[in-house]
Each structure stands twice: as structure tokens, then as C-alpha cells.
Structure 1
Amino acid sequence: MLASEVAGCTRCRLCETRTQTVFSRGNPLSELLFVGEGPGSEEDLQGEPFVGPAGQLLDRMIAAMGYRRDEVYICNIVKCRPPENRKPQPEEMEACKGWLAAQLELLRPKYIVALGATAIQGLIGTSEGITRLRGKWKMYRGIPVMPTFHPAYLLRQPSAKREVWSDLQEVMARLGKKPPARS
């Protein structure tokens, strides 16, 4: 229902260049939700978040936490692809804010992992950067949020994977999960 409303959205200019909206993927009943910045070109074509190289890395991160990719819920701050994969502009994030709020209100996850600066800024309205925020619990309408680096950043800076793994282990500890044994 909400996804079909979003599909017809014209609240900002991103609707003019999108192929389709990118609402979510995964289990809406999941206790764990990941939120990213916005769809890229692959996501715009397929209509699903995190399907390109960053998405493949995110899937491996999710698996390392002991989940299958469709056991968690994944969405973005904005539901339409910004041109040239640029960062969403403040007015675009503001235009999409109501959709995200409605989505999160329906889902009520126990925990949110905010992937990158745009995700945490869009959720809690801060202007602080991700380097300062990552690894420190924040709150979104009563839901604990763990900010961490975006998988696209990890593709460019693999040395930051250790910090992200530490952040994800904090989330796992709160969920009472241990990482699966590596075979």
C-alpha cells in the first residue's frame, strides 16, 4: 500500500529522472533494519535497494551477522535515484522524510543500522559526519540506531571494514546473536 503510494510520488524533482521508485527489500517483520542513502543506477533499474557492488558487500556483512539477506529489511533515505549517483540534496531528503517515517512506523524494527552519513543525517537530523558518529548509539523515535560506514565507502577504503564489523557486533550483542562459525 505505502509502496504503491511512493511509486506515484512527485514531491521533488528526483521523480523526473527515475526509472522507478526503490522502496525496500527483505522481511518487513525483521527486528533489524538497514537504511542507506539512495538508489544507484542498478537499483533504479531493478527497483530494489543495494543490488550493485555495495549491495553485494552488504549481503556479505549481513551473512557475517548470521542473517540471510532477506531476513532483514533494507531501505533508503530517498526512494528515487539522484542523477549521477550524487548525494541527495536536503530538499530531496525532506521531501522523502514522510515516506521513511511512515515506513518505519509500520515496521517498528528493534534496531536500525544507518549506512553512511546521509542515512544517519536523514534519520536524526544531525549535521555531524559519519567518522564522528559511527559506533555510537543514537535514537530515532525510540528505536536505537547504530551509525556505521556505507558499504560503498568500504569498497574504496577496505581498511575501515574492521570498524564496521565492530559496529555490527554491537548490534548483534543487543540482539543476543553471535556470529556464525566460519567453515
Structure 2
Amino acid sequence: MALDEAALETLGLGTMWVRRGAPSGQGVVEDEPALEEPRAAAYETASPAARPAAVQSVEAKPVAREPESQSVSAAPTESAPGDTPVRPVPPETAKTIRIAPAPEPEPLDEPAWDDFEPVPPVGFDPAPASAPAARSADIAALDWEALEARVSNCERCRLCEKRTNTVFGVGDRAGDWMLIGEGPGENEDKQGEPFVGQAGKLLDSMLRALSLARGENVYIANVVKCRPPGNRNPEPDEVAQCEPYLQRQVALVKPKLIIALGRVAAQNLLKTDASISSLRGRVHRYEDVPVIVTYHPAYLLRSLPDKAKAWVDLCLAYDTYRQAIPNDKARS
């Protein structure tokens, strides 16, 4: 490139070349590489005096630069039939414009698929919901013999799968005192009677301290009638399935007082999760019958110092029973 041309290029006044058939204002190329090689060759082979003329002989006729204000989007000119369309070259001053993606549409607030389920008619009572209530109502009408037969064949919960015997209850079916434990243990499951073994012997001693005896004015039962595996505590659903049996036993015995033996029995009878220490020393109610809470005999065998506390509970039970007798006579 000649020195004068280099000066023009530095000032931004260099020669601009346009391809044939390119739209006006587009395709402007500075120093097209295709023309640079023959121009350089002519410049090198010519003598120093003739170099400007030699370069001019291979250069194409310059085209004036289009005004910058002209619209780039002008309609393109038609190209000659034999020419190959050439993609316009964007100007150096062009800037890349990034278009932000359109925001995703908000999800439609459509109803769930089950909203189109047919609505049951008014007064419709599904069978699964009404079945437990119907069974409970049926149990509430049973006498002693029918109730014991129903318990012996009961399969209402999973405890029936591993039991040896059901433990219905034992004692005076018209007694004033009713003792309720949580559930049968291993010995009770084998013999079919509640509170046998060492815990049963301790319970008999507690009854003698009150001038009572097993089978004499006392009836003994459990919250559940089948042994939980491994002597674990009965689950809430298991207690719920057995509760109608216990309710019917209380209704048939009509006791003047109930003693809840142990935390599990007390919590299930009173429908609470309070600790046994907070339940002791007060008079509660179950099916409108006074309830006294004390420790389970099996627990007292492991914690001898708490026997004194159990004796305090038995004294409270005796005082409550003595107060209940005049009230019952007054009602009659």
C-alpha cells in the first residue's frame, strides 16, 4: 500500500469497495483481500517511479461511501443472472443485540383430576366408614355369653394372628370394683386369664389390703384382649378395635369405681398422653364412672420404692368408693 493511501486509511478516508449486486449501503469492504495480492505483486515488480501507476492499473474504480444516515434495511438491488448471491457484510460499528427470552406463561389454575369425580348424593354413607359404627352398635347389644363368644373369635386387628388365647376377663360380673390393665402378657396368653404369675400375686396382695379378693366384688379386664407380640404396648388402632368390647364390659358390670393399672391403660381410658405421675392423685371419669390411676403390678415388681405411692393411690380409691355408695343410693 502506498504511503499516501496509508495516510488516507489512517484518517478514515480510504478507498471503499462494493461487490457487484450488493444492496446499497451494505457489503462495503475495506481493503478486500482478493484485490490485495495482485496489487502487492504489481507494486513489487514495478520500478519505484512507476509503482503508483502500476497499483492504480489493478485497482477497481472506487465507489463513494454511502451516507451513514441511509437506512440499512433498504430494498436490495437485483443481481445479474450469472452472479452468485453474496451475504452482506455488516459494518464494523454494528453491535450485537441480545434479545431476552420471552417469559414462560403462568400455569393455568386448573382443577385437579379428581375434582371431576362424581359427587355422592346427599345422605350417602360409604360402607367402609359405616361398618365400624355398625359393629360397635352390634356389640353394645350383646350379653355376657354372646360378648365372650364374639371376643374369642375376634379378628378385627392383627393381634389375632399370633395369639394363643383371648383374655376376656375374670371376676364378679356384678362387682363394685373394676380393675383394668393394658393387655395380656405371655402367661396370660397361655392361660386365658388376666394378671397371673408374679404380677398377679402382687395384685391379689393389693386387693387384700382393701379387704377385697379376686372374684369377690371385683372384676378384672384389659384394654386389649389379645397379647401384643413381644409384650409391646398395643398400638392405637388395636386399642380402637378392642374398645367396644371394654365399653360393653363396663356397661354390663356397672362398677362403682375403676382402677387403671399402668400408664398405657390410663392413657387409653382417659384419652390423654399425660404421664402417670400427673394422672395419679386425682379422680377421673370413664363412661361416667370414677377412675383412679396407679402403677401396674409388673412395674412395682421392678421398682419397690413406688409401692408406697401405690398404697396412697389405693387409699384414694377406697375413699372415692365410699363416697360413691351414698350417691348411688340417693339416685335409686
Task: Give the TM-score normalised by the residue count of structure 1.
Answer: 0.94
1:91 to 229, 237, 240: 237
Q: How far apart are 1:125 and its partner, in Å?
A: 0.8
Give the whole-Å Cα distance in 2 for the aligned partners of 1:113 and 1:107: 14
- Equivalent pairs: percent with the same residue? 49
SS for the counterpart of 1:50 is: coil
User: In structure 1, which of residues 14, 27, 37 is the aligned counterpart of residue 182 of structure 2?
Assistant: 37
1:176 to partner: Cα distance? 3.4
Bigger relative CO (Cα 8 Å, ≥ 6 apart): 1
Q: CA deviation at 1:135?
A: 2.0
Corresponding residue for residue 207 of structure 2: 62
| Higher alpha-carbon deviation: 30-39 or 98-107 | 98-107
Stretches of structure 1 that go unaligned for 5 or more consecutive residues are 178-183
Q: Which amino acid aligns with 2:152?
A: A
Query: How many residue pairs were aligned?
Result: 177
Query: Distance in 1 between the 2:291 and 2:284 partners?
Result: 5
* 2:319 corresponds to: 173
Match of 1:136 in 2: 282
How far 1:150 moved relative to its partner? 0.6
Structure 1 counterpart of 2:298, from 152, 166, 182? 152
The Cα of 1:173 is off from its aligned counterpart by 1.9
Once residues 135 and 11 of structure 1 are traced to their aligned partners in structure 2, the CA distance between those partners, rounded to angstroms, is 35
The one of 189, 197, 202 equivalent to 1:52 is 197
Report the AA paired with residue 123 of structure 1. L
Corresponding position of 1:19:
164
Q: Deviations over 1:24-78 (max 9, x none)?
A: 1110111000000000010011100001211111111011110112211100000
User: How far apart, in 2, do the equivalents of 1:135 and 1:8 lie?
Assistant: 38
The residue type paired with residue 157 of structure 2 is C
Aligned match of 1:125: 271
Q: CA RMSD in A?
A: 1.2
Q: 1:101 aligns with which of 217, 230, 247?
A: 247
Alignment gaps of 5+ in structure 2: 1-144, 324-332
Counterpart in the other structure of 1:164: 310
- Structure 2 length-normalised TM: 0.52
Q: Provide the C-alpha distance between the structure 2 equivalents of 1:27 and 1:15, rounded to a whole number of angstroms.
A: 26
Q: What is the distance in 2 between the residues matched to 1:175 and 1:165?
A: 15
Cα distance in 2, alignment partners of residues 63 and 84 from structure 1: 31
Determine the C-alpha separation between the residues in 1 that align with 2:277 and 2:287. 23
Cα distance, 1:16 vs structure 2: 0.3
Aligned to 1:6: 151
Name the structure with the higher helix share: 1
8 Å CA contact 1:148–1:167 kept in 2: the answer is: yes
8 Å contact kept, 1:38–1:76: yes
Paired with 2:260 and 2:285, the residues of 1 have a C-alpha distance of 11
Match of 2:215, SS? helix
SS of structure 2 residue aligned to 1:79: coil
Q: Does 1:77 align with 2:223?
A: yes
- Alignment partner of 2:293: what SS? strand
Structure with the greater alpha carbon radius of gyration? 2
Aligned-pair distance for 1:79? 0.3
Q: Distance in 2 between matches of 1:139 and 1:148?
A: 14
- Aligned partners of 1:136 and 1:65: how far apart in 2? 19
